């Protein structure tokens, strides 16, 4: 506030009404700093990441070792989450399964962002036939949801972690293109882009210096939400047998193996089920929380 002579009458700044009480009541300002949504989301996601990391150095038992003497054991001190019908330790398998979940999520979301963000910026910054083509292609791709695409891939190439990742990634591209294009159009209509052009900036520089930093918020939020969807899709694919092949543990496959045993030991379905739900919940909450921080314009989408 030191700058500007006569600052005493300079009321153009964010005065009491500058915070716009209509859209953001002052109580919410504190909420933003330590939003419970963000906190819970971060903790849950952290749990999954730590679980996967720990599984590389330590698991209570070998997650794939079959032990006919220890089949369908209940929860106990030796086997925290019991054992499955082959006598494998469920806790160890859940830990290792987190790796599969994260791998599929990171690769598919990474693929979608790597393709979707540049296409979105391109569609937002150019005119004529190109943006129309890109958006039409996206509309079309939306008619092939991740699961359908993965099943098609599975039918032709055989189901594997790779086909699942690629299918989920491709199916996620349109959502990135859409949010990035919307963000780009918004940035391109601002006066600071006009100022940058008047300053002599070329298009690539505008894309890099102005558009990308200003859409990065929505990209991060979209990545988090897409991650949750990818976790769901991977679980469903493994459940159907199109994802990670045995014996590598994955939560979806554990659920598939548990289903025939529902009459005998329903608890076996509970553990991987809770794992999937918590992971999805974590990424969804993280996305919502980040949206409040990074993109105050749109409070919440889901």
Question: What residues from 135 to 174 belong to the interface with other proteins (CB under 8 A)?
Answer: 136, 139-140, 142-145, 147-148, 151-152, 154-156
In the region spanning residues 204 to 243, those forming contacts with other proteins, defined by CB under 8 A, are 205, 209-210, 213-214, 228, 232, 235-236, 239-240
Nearer to other proteins, 70 or 218 (CB): 218
Buried b (16+ CB within 10 A) or exposed e, 38-61: beebbebbeebeebbeebeeebeb
**DSSP string of 37-51, one letter each residue:** HHHHHHHHHHHHHHH
- Within 10 angstroms of residue 221's Cβ, the number of other Cβ atoms is 23
Q: Per CB under 8 A, does 33 bind other proteins?
A: no
Q: How far apart are CA 100 and CA 113, in angstroms?
A: 20
Q: Per CB under 8 A, does 262 bind other proteins?
A: yes
Nearer to other proteins, 20 or 68 (CB): 20
Number of amino acids touching other proteins (CB under 8 A): 81
Nearer to other proteins, 107 or 258 (CB): 258
CA 177 to chain centre: 15
Query: What number of CA atoms fall less than 13 Å from residue 104's CA on the CB side?
Result: 32
Q: Per CB under 8 A, does 66 bind other proteins?
A: no
Q: Exactly one of 16, 33, 128, 129 binds other proteins (CB under 8 A); which one? A: 16
Angle in degrees, CA 286, 288, 292, rounded to 5:
115
Q: Exactly one of 73, 173, 177, 255 binds other proteins (CB under 8 A); which one? A: 255
């Amino acid at each position: 506030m030191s700058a500007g002579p006569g600052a005493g009458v300079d009321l153009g700044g964010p005065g009491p009404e500058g915070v716009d009480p209509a859209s953001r009541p002052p109580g919410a300002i504190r909420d933003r700093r330590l939003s419970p949504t963000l906190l819970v989301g971060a903790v849950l996601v952290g749990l999954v990441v730590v679980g996967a990391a720990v599984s590389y150095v330590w698991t209570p038992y070998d997650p794939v070792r079959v032990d006919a003497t220890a089949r369908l054991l209940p929860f106990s001190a030796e086997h925290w989450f019991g054992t499955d019908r082959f006598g494998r330790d469920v806790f160890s398998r859940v830990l290792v399964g987190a790796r599969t979940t994260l791998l599929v999520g990171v690769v598919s979301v990474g693929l979608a962002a790597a393709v979707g963000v540049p296409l979105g910026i391109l569609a937002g910054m150019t005119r004529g036939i190109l943006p129309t083509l890109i958006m039409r292609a996206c509309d079309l791709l939306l008619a092939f949801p991740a699961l359908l695409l993965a099943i098609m891939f599975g039918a032709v190439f055989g189901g594997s972690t790779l086909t699942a990742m690629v299918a989920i990634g491709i199916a996620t591209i349109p959502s990135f293109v859409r949010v990035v294009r919307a963000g780009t159009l918004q940035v391109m209509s601002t006066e600071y882009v006009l100022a940058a052009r008047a300053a002599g900036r070329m298009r690539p520089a505008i894309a890099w210096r102005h558009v990308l930093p200003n859409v990065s918020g929505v990209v991060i939020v979209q990545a988090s939400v897409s991650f949750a969807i990818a976790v769901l899709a991977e679980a469903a694919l493994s459940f159907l047998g199109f994802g990670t092949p045995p014996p590598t543990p994955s939560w979806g496959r554990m659920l598939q193996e548990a289903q025939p045993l529902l009459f005998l030991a329903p608890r076996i379905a509970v553990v991987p089920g809770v794992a999937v739900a918590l992971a999805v919940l974590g990424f969804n909450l993280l996305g919502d929380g980040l949206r409040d921080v990074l993109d105050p314009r749109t409070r919440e989408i889901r």
